[in-house]
Each structure stands twice: as structure tokens, then as C-alpha cells.
Amino acid sequence: MHIENTVKLDFKDVLIRPKRSTLTSRSEVDITREFKFLHSPIRYHGIPIIAANMDSTGTFEMSEALGRYQLSTALHKHYDEAQYVEHFTQLKNKSQTFYSLGIGDHDWEKFQRVMAAAPGAIEYVCIDVANGYTETFVAFVRKVRETYPELVIMAGNVVTGDMTEELLLSGADIVKVGIGPGSVCTTRKMTGVGYPQLSAIIECADAAHGLGGRICADGGCTVPGDIAKAFGGGADFVMLGGMLAGYAEAGGDLVEVDGKAYKRFYGMSSKDAMDKYAGGVAKYRAAEGKTVLIPFKGPVDQAAQDITGGVRSACTYVGARRLKELTMRTTFVRVSMQLNEVFGKSL
């Protein structure tokens, strides 16, 4: 047994310190990014915020709506092949949509058939498992890279620098970072496993950037300020579930409770998800996700505006003319325990 004594931080533990700035208006700030990748020759251009590949947020409707704001969507993996082929062949901006897959034979065979039916239409894929630390997962990432050398491959999830490097060296271009921070995730409660998300971002970004790789901070953002903190900590991309789940383009059922409208939102490892897609929770495992009701908020345009506006404003406060400069200009100040509690509640 070993105890790691250095302080590890979550979004709620810090604030970004303002800095002198020559910017006169937030409209001067450019929050798009251009990326080259470690393996793929494809160039990315857009606002690097991605709707999560959960069946509520990773919908075709979300991809179309967020695409209007240069934001991306990682589609969930439960559409049928013909639907993917139709969606991807119609896409104008290919960086707008990730095809997502797990590492089962069924996922792999389905993906190969879609790739064959829509040649050149898919450029971005997201290989997603709850635990990115297994040899099977690394081998799968290597197989996808060898089979499709051109693809931009995002793979995860992990939370440490060593595994970030291993995935990058095995073929990933973007490593997805986050174990346990998700709004409908119960992994920390069920297993005791996890890592404070801001520290995971800082450490994985450092490891990835040293190799020319990218990271995507996945989970735990509850307000636009958390997204700014993730970028400030070094994230190249940020993935969002709960922040987008209450909108019309999300897939969750619309329900009414006491005259108020809500969207149902569940974790992809929750009992609800496993009942729907796997015929129930298998005997050897326990659910690691929960179901919540989120107040219905109408079209996702409002969220897109709040999120991009919040990040742009954060850049203005620290004098970053471009999102690219935000990390360099970020100094985090630790929030004292008492303030932290008050601040947490006031949000």
C-alpha cells in the first residue's frame, strides 16, 4: 500500500486569477482551435467542446444543433448502421461528429461495415471504455490505428500520465481523461476508485503535450466556469454530458412532475442503461451510474451561447486573445475550505 500525499484538485477547489489585459471586448477573443495530431494527418478546426457519447447527449439532433456553433458531438453507439451511414455521408464539417465504439467484437465488426459503406465520411472516432487501463483496451486501440491510419482516434478513459503516454504510443491522437467525475457516475461510491478531475487534466495534459498528443477532459463540468478551468488546466478538448442533457436535442424522455417538465438522464453504466441495452445488470457486476431528472430547458442554442460566452469571457479576464493562450495565462488560486463550501452551494 502507498499513500500519495500531494494535493489533488477538483474544479471546485480553485478559481482563475484575473490578469492585466489589453483586450477591450470579449468579441475580440477567438475560442476556435486548430490542431495537428500525433498520428492522423487530419487537421482539426473548431471550438473544442464535445457532447458526450451517452445515448441522451450523443444524438444526431445534438450534432446538427451544436455543429452550427462549431461545437462537436460524439455520437452514442446504439444507432443502427444505416443511420450512421446516412448521417456521416451528409456531414459538411467532419470534425463535428465522432463515431463511438466500445471494444467488443460486435462494436468492431459494426464499425468496419459502416466504414466500408461510407468511405471517407468518418474522420473522428471515440473508443470508449470505463477503464482504459487494461491490456485488451490498449491492443484494441493499436488494432484500430493499424487498420485505419488516417483516422483521428480519441481513446479513454484514464487519469494518469503514464497511461496517457501508453495510449498515445499505441495509436491514440486524443486521450480521454476522467474516472469518476461524471454527474451521473457512481464509480467513486461503488469502487472507491477515481482521481480529482482538475489534477488529472493537468497531469495528463503535461504527459500528452510532451509527446505531441492531445487530451479531452471528460466529466465533472457543471457550469461554463468549469470548462474554462479545464482549458486553463491544459485540456485540448472538453466533453460534456449533464450540462447538455436537459435540452430538446438530448435523447432522454421528457417527463412531467408536479406540472414541471424534466428530461430523464442516466449514466451509461446505470441499471436503466443496462436494462435497455444489455437485458439487465449482469450477475457479476454492479451498476456504476444513476438516473436523474433535469429541468427541461428548451433548444440547446441557449447552452451553446452560455458555454461559448463563458469561455470567451474567461479568456478576457486573463488577457488571452485566443483560447490557445488560456493555459499559459492561467494561475489557479486555491479556494479555502470554507469559501469552497459556500461557493459550491451558491452555484
Residues engaged in binding ligand 5GP (CB under 6 A): 52, 54, 130, 157, 178, 182-185, 187, 218-221, 239-243, 267-270, 288-289
Looking at 59, 73, 97, 187, which residue is catalytic?
187
Q: Give φ, ψ of 239 to 5 degrees.
A: -110, 140
Q: Which is nearer to ligand 5GP, 42 or 130 (CB)?
A: 130
Q: Which is nearer to ligand 5GP, 121 or 198 (CB)?
A: 198
Looking at 73, 97, 164, 185, which residue is catalytic?
185
Active site residue 185: yes
Sequence-separated (6 or more) residues with CB below 8 Å from residue 165 = 207, 208, 210, 211
- Say how far apart CA 197 and CA 200 lie, in whole Å: 5
Q: Which is nearer to ligand 5GP, 117 or 223 (CB)?
A: 223
- Say how far apart CA 154 and CA 97 lie, in whole Å: 12
Q: Which is nearer to ligand 5GP, 95 or 187 (CB)?
A: 187
- Say how far apart CA 274 and CA 65 lie, in whole Å: 28
Task: Tell me how far, at minimum, the Cβ of 23 lies from ligand 5GP, in Å.
Answer: 29
- Helix, strand and coil percent figures for the chain, each rounded to 5: 35, 20, 45
Sequence-separated (6 or more) residues with CB below 8 Å from residue 240 = 49, 50, 51, 52, 57, 221, 227, 307
Q: Cell 481513446, residue? A: 155
Q: What residues act catalytically?
A: 185, 187
